Amino acid sequence: MGRWLKPEVYPLMAAMTFVSGMCIFQLTRNVLTNPDVRINKAHRTTAVLENEEEGKKYSQHGLRQFLRTRPPEVMPSINQFFSDTK
């Protein structure tokens, strides 16, 4: 096992674990809470669902509502420093 687990591989393993976790989270979120995914038989029989409120709630989640109030900058202090015309 020591041959396979070298210290140089730890950052790669951490990145791959993080990305795999994000993928699993998104897939689980889509299967369990997406209004377009119908798991039980009663919902699959309807061709068109009338669930506008549920779809709006799904698409406008808490993180999106929080980010809507934030400026679209990655590093605001650095952007302000370089764009200041003083």
Distance between CA atoms of residues 18 and 3, nearest Å: 23
Q: Is residue 59 part of a domain?
A: no
Q: Is residue 19 part of a domain?
A: yes
Range among 28-42, 45-59, 60-74 with highest mean pLDDT value? 60-74
Q: Is residue 73 part of a domain?
A: no
Q: Where are the alpha helices (DSSP H) in the chain?
A: 10-33, 41-44, 52-59, 62-68, 76-83
* Total tally of structural domains belonging to the chain: 1
What's the whole-number mean pLDDT along residues 55-64? 85
Distance between CA atoms of residues 15 and 21, nearest Å: 10
What's the whole-number mean pLDDT along residues 48-69? 83
What are the residues whose beta carbons fall under 8 Å from the beta carbon of 38, sequence distance 6 or more? 44, 46, 49
Q: What is the pLDDT of residue 27?
A: 94
Q: Which residues span the domain enclosing 16?
A: 1-38
Q: Is residue 47 part of a domain?
A: no
Does the pTM exceed 0.75? no
Q: What is the pLDDT of residue 16?
A: 96
Q: Does residue 2 have a pLDDT over 70?
A: no
Q: Which of 35, 61, 39, 57 is nearest to 48 (CA)?
A: 35
What's the whole-number mean pLDDT along residues 63-78? 86
